Amino acid sequence: MKFGGTSVGDVAAFERVFHIVSTQIERHPVVVVSAMTKVTDALLAAFETAKKGDFADAYASLEPHFDRHTAVSEHFISGDKPDAFNGELEFARGELSDLLMRVTRRSLPLQMLKDAIVSYGEQLSSRLLAEVLKAKGVAARQVDSRRLIVTDDEYGAATPIIDETNEIVRLELEPLIAGGEVPILGGFIAANRAGETTTLGRGGSDYSAAIVAAALHSNELQIWTDVTGVMTCDPRICDSAKTIPVLSYEEAAELAYFGAKVLHPKTIKPAVDNAIPVRVCNTFEPNEMGTMVLADSGETPNKIKSIAHKKNITILRISSARMLGSYGFMSAVFQVFERFRTVIDVISTSEVSIALTLDNTAEIDKIVAELERLGDVEIDTGYAVICVVGEGLRASTGLASTVFSTIEDVNVALISHGASSVNLTFVVKEDSAADVIKRLHKGFSEYWPQSTQRP
């Protein structure tokens, strides 16, 4: 059972988590929890402030977040017993102060310090949840995920070493589970072989949960969040968004990749490989079924499942007359992106040019400098990728034309369909994205599930 940041935001949220966990005790759950909402952002901001040399401000900016933890522990953990969480919080304060000072002084590699700092979000939330559950009579026990999940040295977006991780997860957790305890793990955080803290990338708690579920051969992975499952589009954009009862793994992966952040893209992989069904459910509506992600959704063709989007997209166009009729050009272009570890989202080619989109532009200057050796490069910012996903796109011919006739007055910068036949992806200016999504959502209303309520 993975609980996201909004599911552990305050006293009421912890109360909801207790009820959800306690109703499933007999299924022997393992709980994976994210940092309390906004804490990861706050820790990253503190790191940036310290980097600018302002240690005092960096540390002070965390105070309100420490207080939010204290408010929860004071509510649930009674005053007469020594408050185990308080000790942990004091310890964390001291360590964070030391780490932020090191950032200011550059006394250790910054990427390493950044992961060490940001890991306190999950270190604290997992300890707090374990103490709250214990205070309410659940046999909970915090287990430090940094002892369980072994990764490479890629700070900020580390890759788990699966064999080693599986072995340790089983060795550490199975005896606890067999003894009737409920392990509580922080998501997102891990450690490399040398024991230094690493993290799995933003939104990575879903990934942690999937890794643990796979290692333990769990019969279900539950992702508890603040919406009722994966919906037909982001409910923050369209209030008529509906819950999708069943999704195939492939559809879920496409949606996640193209911005439906309700599921982290990598979550899918360990679950797919181990045939573990994933259920996305709402902590505010625990009795609704949410979305089941299955190996094969078994739905009839001609179905569109959802519209995902991702903003803040940059388009790069590389054109070169030399490319005409030659080979090796594409590979030269891709090698540049590989060298700078930058992921390409959408790509479209003609005989003399390649257009592609990026959402991570950290290395763009260096990338452009190298690409300019291959041809002329143009950069365009402020775009959004919109992605219509459904197994139905495989078979049906009319759907793409419906998409484009719905938005015929919108300027579309790039189109891609085919690589994975379950998606139709296109790129528009960011300021028209919300309108395009609303129109498509309305245009495809006949495809959306009629009711979200199930017994």
Residue ranges binding ligand ASP (CB under 6 A): 4-5, 34-35, 40, 121, 187-188, 202-205
- Alpha-helical segments (H) within 236-348: 249-257, 268-273, 329-339
Give the Cα separation of 254 and 28 in Å (integer): 31
Question: Minimum CB separation from ligand ASP for residue 218, in Å?
Answer: 18
Site for ligand ADP in 248-267 (CB under 6 A): 260-262
The answer to whether residue 315 forms part of the interface with ligand ADP (CB under 6 A) is no
Residue 452 phi/psi, 5° resolution? -100, -15
Q: What is the DSSP string of 382-435?
A: EEEEEEEE-THHHH-SHHHHHHHHHTTTS-EEEEEESSSTTEEEEEEEHHHHHH
Q: How far is the CB of 96 from ligand ADP (least distance, A)?
A: 22
54 binds, among ligand ASP, Mg ion, ligand ADP, none (CB under 5 to 8 A by kind): none
Q: Which of 72, 112, 227, 385 binds ligand ADP (CB under 6 A)?
A: 227
CB of 291 to ligand ADP, least distance (A): 8
Q: Which is nearer to ligand ADP, 24 or 319 (by Cβ)?
A: 24
Shortest approach of ligand ASP to residue 334 CB, angstroms? 28
Sign of CA dihedral 260, 261, 266, 268: negative
Q: What are phi and psi of 270, to 5 degrees?
A: -60, -30
Please, which residues have CB within 8 angstroms of residue 398's CB and are 6 or more apart in sequence?
none
**Residue placing its CB nearer to Mg ion in the complex, 266 or 441:** 266
Taking residues 29 to 48 in sequence order and writing x for each that binds ligand ADP by CB under 6 A, - otherwise, the string is -----x--------------
Give the rounded distance of the alpha carbon of 292 from its chain centre. 18
Please report, in angstroms and rounded to a whole number, the separation of the first and last CA atoms in the chain.
21
Sole window of 39-47, 185-193, 198-206, 363-371 interacting with Mg ion (rule: CB under 5 A): 198-206
In the set 203, 204, 229, 290, which binds Mg ion (CB under 5 A)? 203
Residue with tokens 């300890």: 127
Q: Which does 230 bind (CB under 5 to 8 A by kind): ligand ADP, ligand ASP, Mg ion, none?
A: ligand ADP
Determine which helix (DSSP H) or strand (DSSP E) holds 309, and give its type and residue range: strand 306-319
Contact residues: Mg ion, CB under 5 A: 4, 203
